[in-house]
Amino acid sequence: MIVVVAPGQGSQTPGFLSPWLEQPASRELLQTLSTAADLDLIEHGTVSDADTIRDTAIAQPLIVAAGILTLSALLDGASTTPAGIAGHSVGEITAASGAGILTPTDAMTLVAARGRAMAEAAALVDTGMSAVIGGDIAITEARLAELGLFPANYNGGGQLVVAGAKDALATLAAEPPAGTRVIPLQVAGAFHTSYMQSAVEKVREVASTLAPADPTLTIWTNSDGTQVTSGRAYLDLLVGQVSSPVRWDSTMESFSAAGVTGIIELAPAGALVGLAKRGLKGVPTVGIKTPADLDAARAMLEGAAA
């Protein structure tokens, strides 16, 4: 059972889409997605610098477009399809498109609104995020409560991303829980916490104008890692996820329970295959960074089918 996973914000790097645009079909698709997002994703994926593409309002549509583009390229040359799909954070919108819940253009309309709304919410208070590596989760959670910080991403594999006021994050880094390392992240706000509540309402307003279909692939939610069979229910969970923790640990546990035998990460790949290597030891992975990685991904799909 092969599943495709779609990464979240922070996985983008300057110029990462350049190799894809050598293919006319990919360039044409990216132009269509740019129109839907009202952003020049070709420029941002090829020549924009790191500071520009770190902007939440640009980063989120860029990442989702990259995932849609690479999934399209993967399936175009494959003789079989994956058994399931899931996305991490904004990658859930990529997954919604891949599972047929949203059309690619509707996915881009939604992610553009999400990116803008979360950027606006982040500008209201000076907040940030840090990764906490290692240690005991319960002890870390207790320390977060003392400092008024929030767990934002339960990533599994010994990694928890936390969010809140920057002074509290600085205190956490200076006095970390036993056995942990605290690494500040280059993001603009406290995503997946109550600081994002104003963004939830704006995203819900746009989502209410869309007409989701029920998924054609097995799809798991970041809410609690369970499978979702209703397109509308998935879209509702996706909206609420803006201010709720990402439970990628639960998603990986569900992969294990379902008997997943391989994981393919869409571009910009790297983060989720890294988590899988720690949280799903022994499960083969392929990260699609450039078109050169497509053959290995297709081989994994076809090997599972055989």
Give 208's contacts (C-beta < 8 A, 6+ positions apart): none
Q: Which of 14, 116, 36, 27 is nearest to 73 (CA)?
A: 27
Structure tokens, 191: 């995503």
Active site (annotated) includes residue 192: yes
Active site (annotated) includes residue 89: yes
Q: Report pLDDT for 53.
A: 93
Task: Pick the catalytic residue from 11, 26, 34, 89.
Answer: 89
Q: Which of 18, 71, 22, 67 is nearest to 45 (CA)?
A: 18
Q: Report pLDDT for 274.
A: 92
Q: Report pLDDT for 305.
A: 57
The position carrying tokens 């400092």 is 147
Query: Which residue positions in the chain have pLDDT lower than 70?
Result: 304-306
Task: Pick the catalytic residue from 192, 223, 250, 254.
Answer: 192
Model-wide pTM > 0.95? no
Domains of the chain in start order, with CATH, are 2-121+193-305 (3.40.366.10), 127-185 (3.30.70.250)
Beta strands (DSSP E) in the chain are 2-6, 84-87, 127-134, 150-156, 159-165, 180-185, 218-219, 246-247, 262-265, 285-287
Q: Report pLDDT for 306.
A: 56
